[in-house]
């Protein structure tokens, strides 16, 4: 009979030895991973290939949130299952920006004490050590002027918010990022339309496929704009006639949607017989809880 893996002090030491939670872009290694060597998550896990690395997601909500995250126009990097420093440490932007390497910020242990919250611990064989808390997704945004900004996102189900202890740990996570001047969002399925989430989950493979050219996406977006009211199938056939294949048409169409070059009404549902309708850009962005900065947390 297989034993169930548990988080223990020794396992946390192994995570550190493995270099987890370190690096940026393709070199980053998540603190928690989707692997047989890690304790299983409570949700359904996913591996999604984006920007040269497999993203390791531990729930359906994290999957949908990733889809929203990579639609953010300023997205530069995303580090999932990101560990919070236990003690005073550099700002998390220091991995990109040398100017951030001259000041330390409080760790989760000191913040827990100041908030009067018991810091999470793990126990095994008479040993007890502080648990390393994580943020589900840490986005790095790059603005047109080159300035980098972090946005921390916690992903939970509505049921996952129940209980005083859960709220305490979320409060501690929020305080950690506030101490660093980083905005923190709590995303649950209540922050986005269910039909939008279903559409994104179904169509994200096209968005993550080999990137089409700007000219190809322009053709797809222009044709779709002139064929509003026709079924998605009809629109894709017309795009395929111009681009040479249905596969290329699908990629160009959905990549234009993801890049906000085609503000599709995502609440229309994913079924191909439904008509294509478009939104004003502001209304399109409002469908995305990350761009809109919607959060389930209320102070």
Ordered by where they begin, the domains of the chain are 9-191 (3.40.1350.10), 194-286 (no CATH)
What number is the average pLDDT over the span 57-81? 96
Q: How many residues does the chain have?
A: 299
Share of residues in the chain with pLDDT > 70 (%)? 97
Phi and psi torsions of 141, nearest 5°: -105, 140
pLDDT of 130 higher than 80: yes
Q: How far apart are CA 120 and CA 31, in angstroms?
A: 16
Q: How far apart are CA 130 and CA 214, in angstroms?
A: 49
pTM: 0.93
**3-state DSSP: the chain helix, strand, coil percent, rounded to 5?**
40, 20, 40
Residue 26: what pLDDT? 94
Stretch among 151-165, 173-187, 238-252 having the lowest mean pLDDT? 151-165
């Amino acid at each position: 009979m297989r034993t169930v893996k548990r988080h223990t002090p020794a396992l946390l030491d192994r995570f550190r030895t493995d270099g987890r939670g370190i690096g940026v872009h393709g070199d980053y290694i998540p603190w928690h991973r989707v692997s047989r060597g890690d304790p299983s998550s409570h949700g359904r896990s996913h591996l999604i290939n984006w920007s040269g690395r497999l993203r390791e997601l531990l729930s359906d909500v994290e999957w949908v949130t990733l889809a929203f995250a990579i639609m953010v126009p300023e997205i530069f990097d995303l580090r999932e299952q990101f560990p919070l420093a236990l003690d005073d440490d550099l700002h998390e932007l220091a991995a990109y920006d040398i100017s951030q390497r001259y000041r330390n910020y409080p760790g989760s242990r000191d913040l827990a004490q100041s908030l009067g919250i018991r810091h999470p611990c793990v126990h095994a064989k008479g040993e007890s050590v502080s648990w390393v808390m994580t943020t589900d997704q840490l986005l790095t945004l790059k603005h047109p002027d080159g300035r980098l900004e972090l946005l921390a996102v916690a992903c939970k189900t509505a049921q996952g918010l129940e209980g005083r202890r859960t709220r305490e740990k979320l409060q501690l996570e929020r305080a950690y990022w506030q101490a660093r001047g980083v905005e923190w969002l709590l995303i649950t399925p209540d922050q986005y339309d269910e039909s939008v989430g279903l559409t994104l989950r179904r169509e994200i493979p096209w968005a993550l496929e080999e990137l089409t050219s700007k000219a190809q996406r322009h053709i797809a977006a222009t044709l779709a704009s002139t064929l509003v009211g026709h079924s998605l199938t009809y629109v894709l056939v017309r795009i395929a006639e111009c681009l040479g294949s249905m596969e290329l048409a699908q990629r160009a169409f959905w990549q234009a949607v993801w890049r906000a070059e085609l503000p599709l009404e995502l609440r229309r549902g994913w079924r191909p017989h439904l008509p294509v309708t478009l939104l004003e850009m502001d209304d399109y962005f409002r469908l995305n809880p990350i761009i809109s900065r919607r959060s389930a947390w209320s102070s």
